[in-house]
Structure 1
Amino acid sequence: MLNPWLGAKEDGSLPRPRKTGFWFALAALLLRPLLMLLTKRDWRGTEHIPREGGFIVAANHISYFDPIALGHFLYDNGRLPRYLAKSGLFTIPVLGSILRSMGQIPTYRGTKDAARSLRDAVAAVRRGECVIILPDGTITRDPDLWPMVGKTGVARVALTTGAPVIPIAQWGPQEVLSPYSKKLELLPRKTMRIKAGPPVDLSEFAGQELTGPVLRAATDKIVAAIVEQLEELRGEKAPPERYDMRKTGVPETGNPAKRQRGRR
């Protein structure tokens, strides 16, 4: 039975979005039954997903499969996910048009157009969208798949809009598709463990100029909230120090293991 005001189910989860558009509806029609059949779900903290209005999801990135798992989680809890996706995907015929029609946001990493992604993300949040930003910026390079030192774009969007930031941790997608692998491991069925936490309290940064130190401090607080959720999912403590690609010299793009083999 539905709550007539919030539209929430009795268990606190939300009905699936009604106005999805053609491509979202088609993707849900094709993918959701497969996901329900091929994966198990351990979803927690769904009460923290805003029922309406723009907000930011900040999540860890452990596999090429985790956008699918996270999208399933958000869709079944009443929100359409808007991802920041690599700009190259938008240049692929047909796929690029589909991504744009679904409201996905191209990122122009390492180019003069990089700021456009954040402007588009800000605009989407202000339109009332659910915008997903992965502070790692790439699949984590941490050997044990903990979140790394985060990129500050998530803090910039959050502090520019004043929208809530919901920290979400996921664990399980890497069992379906290990980092940088192209081989799906669907059987036996894997459990997608996803946990949303309460909004990150960024009130201490309100009204401050968005300087580097302010953005770094806000980002660190957001990443710490993701780690807190992930520690509960994994049942273990994260390392006291975040993995930092700048200190290790690991490249930000591509499979780092392949790069290392190529230098031998």
Structure 2
Amino acid sequence: MPRRRISFWYRFAAVLVKPPLVVLIKRDWRGMENIPAEGGFITAVNHNSHADPFAYGHFQYNTGRVPRFLAKSGLFKKGFVGAAMRGTGQIPVYRESSDALSAYRAAIDAVERGECVAFYPEATLTRDPDMWPMTGKTGAARVALETRCPVIPVAQWGANLLLPPYAKKPDILPRKTHQVLAGPPVDLARFYDKEMTPELLKEATEVIMAAITAQLELIRGEKAPATPFDPRQVRIEQRRRSLTQVEREARELTADAEHEKERGK
């Protein structure tokens, strides 16, 4: 695959990050032939460890098509990390502010300039108990349908064994293997030329997430659950249970009060 020009900051970051990655993890990388050699595109990647942006970034760097990640805006503000984030062209995400749509616009601009934008559609570490991809947010689908660029589904596994979600220390020994499988572009043609309604974006996102999950099934050699883990539904169910508990306790208190009132007559 021909290598495109890579900026100083990206090369500098690679010099710092690649040596420890090579020491800490072995690599089993497949599907690089599915990464477009030219033109703008999206990679849609599962997220299961705070270490996987570095491990996956290493994979993509080696394809010659460096990714622009969407990252929390706070990482861009100060010090060396902020300078590196800005210098490598990462895209800040401003949540709950008037600039919340700027990441979406920046992603479209990057794709239209022929760059790669890497999306974690889950938007956070998976909450699935068995580490399968969860339901996704619609950002990747929005950009894909707006630009009609290729969407490459990518599954990764192994960084989560080195640094499990929310773990404070890595599990270095025995040496882990980072597995990556990039699949062929997701077919989203049936969604083109249609109004970009929430329902359509949700359906397109489900197609993208299913493609990522299919790649992870090949890596893990097992089937994912038929229904993806949905953290929103879990929160709704937890609130419902909490309200039910509160209502039950309120009824018990009312019954106790009425009982005491009857006894006092």
The TM tier, using the shorter chain, reads 0.7 to 0.9
1:126 partner letter: E
Change (3 A) 1:176 1:149: same
- Cα displacement string for residues 62-116 of structure 1 (whole angstroms, at most 9, x for unaligned residues): 0001111111111111111110001111122332222111100001123332211
Q: Report the AA paired with residue 179 of structure 1.
A: P
214, 220, 230: which is aligned to 2:200? 214
Aligned to 1:28: 14
* 1:193 alignment partner AA: Q
**Post-superposition offset of 1:18:** 5.4
2:142 match: 156
Which residue of the partner structure matches residue 261 of structure 1?
Answer: none
Give CA deviations for 1:154-209 in whole Å, capped at 9, x if unaligned.
10010011100000000101011110123122222110000000000000011111
CA–CA distance in structure 2, aligned partners of residues 87 and 205 of structure 1: 31
CA distance in 2, matches of 1:186, 1:161: 41
Please say if 1:68 is aligned against 2:72.
no
1:168 to 154, 174, 180: 154
Matches within 5 A, 1:93-172: 93-172=79-158
Cα distance in 2 for residues equivalent to 1:113 and 1:107: 8
CA distance in 1, matches of 2:74, 2:131: 25
Letter in 1 for 2:152: I
Per-residue deviation, 1:35: 1.9
Question: What is the CA distance between 1:27 and its match in structure 2?
Answer: 1.5
Whose helix proportion is higher, 1 or 2? 2
Indicate which of 206, 210, 214 corresponds to 1:228.
Answer: 214
Residue 178 of structure 2: SS of its match in structure 1? Answer: strand
Partners of 1:247 and 1:213 in 2: CA distance: 17
Query: After TM superposition, which residue ranges in structure 1, 4 or more long, deviate above 4 angstroms?
Result: none
| Identical residues among aligned pairs (%) | 55
1:44 and 2:30 matched: yes
**Distance in 2 between residues matched to 1:20 and 1:182, nearest whole Å:** 33
Give the drift of 1:57: 0.3
Q: How many residues align?
A: 236
Aligned-pair Cα RMSD in Å: 1.4
Aligned match of 1:79: 65
Task: Specify whether residues 183 and 62 from structure 1 end up closer, same or farther in structure 2 by C-alpha distance, changes over 3 A only.
Answer: same
1:20-47 CA-to-partner distances (Å, cap 9, x unmatched) read: 2222111112222332232111111111
Unmatched segments (≥5 aa) in structure 2: 237-265
In 1, the alpha carbon distance for the partners of 2:235 and 2:152 equals 30
Q: Distance in 1 between matches of 2:128 and 2:136?
A: 12
What is the TM-score with the length of structure 1 in the denominator?
0.86
Write the letter of the residue equivalent to 1:139. Answer: L
Q: Structure 1 residues 236 and 95, CA, compared in 2 at 3 Å: closer, same or farther?
A: same
Task: Tell me how far apart the structure 1 counterparts of residues 171 and 147 of structure 2 sit (CA, whole Å).
Answer: 40
Q: Say whether 1:205 aligns with 2:191.
A: yes
Judged with a 3 Å threshold, the aligned counterparts in structure 2 of structure 1 residues 92 and 238 are, in CA distance, closer, same or farther, namely: same
- Checking the alignment, whether the CA contact within 8 Å between 2:18 and 2:58 is kept in structure 1 is yes
Computing the radius of gyration from Cα coordinates, the structure with the larger value is 2
